[in-house]
């Protein structure tokens, strides 16, 4: 089955098996930020943007992405690095397991909500398994990043 996907701004055409997941397609095309920790849609590591919306790539067939736009962290490097610094600053990337999904969903949150409430933040991050930090560091990082953006990119208090 021949499919065409706009992957991180580049057109990718490939002949795939009908049962290939988007996760496996992305890994086969060098998107190593996309990880799969559970294969049951419970960890959030495989989160990517499909037409600007976060989806779990382990639960989407690659054929469903035919003709659509897919973005991974490789394609969102600038946004991911900018926000990722705030997560690291709060000690929330202890093992790094949850970072890909956490960052992708935080980017989706920031694109959709100017000033999200704690409840909205928790809803966006609900599908991301964090093994070691208890999510408090991520929440602090998100608040620090929102303050940074509110101040026009100037770090508050530094």
Task: Show which of 54, 71, 88 is a domain's final residue.
Answer: 71
pLDDT lower than 50: segments of the chain: 157-158
Q: What is the CATH number of the domain that holds 44?
A: 3.10.20.30
Domain holding 58, by residue range, is 2-71
Enter the tokens of residue 45. Answer: 């590591």
Indicate whether 89 and 52 sit together in one domain: no
Q: What sign results for the dihedral spanned by CA atoms 32, 136, 49, 150? A: negative
pTM: 0.88
| 156 within a domain of the structure (yes/no) | no
CB atoms within 10 A of CB 92: 25
Residue-level pLDDT at 157? 47
What is the distance between the alpha carbons of residues 79 and 109, in angstroms, rounded to a whole number? Answer: 12
């Amino acid at each position: 089955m021949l499919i065409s996907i706009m992957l991180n701004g580049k057109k990718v055409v490939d002949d795939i098996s009908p049962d290939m997941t988007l996760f496996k397609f992305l890994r086969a095309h060098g998107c190593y930020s996309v990880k799969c920790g559970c294969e049951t849609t419970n960890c959030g590591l495989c989160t990517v943007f499909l037409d600007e919306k976060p989806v779990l790539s382990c639960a989407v067939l690659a054929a469903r992405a035919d003709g659509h736009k897919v973005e991974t962290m490789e394609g969102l490097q600038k946004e991911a690095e900018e926000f990722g610094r705030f997560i690291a600053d709060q000690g929330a990337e202890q093992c790094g397991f949850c970072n890909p999904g956490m960052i992708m969903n935080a980017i989706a949150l920031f694109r959709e909500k100017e000033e999200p409430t704690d409840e909205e933040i928790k809803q966006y991050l609900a599908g991301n398994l964090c093994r070691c930090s208890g999510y408090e560091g991520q929440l602090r990082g998100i608040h620090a990043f929102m303050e940074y953006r509110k101040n026009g990119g100037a770090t508050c208090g530094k």
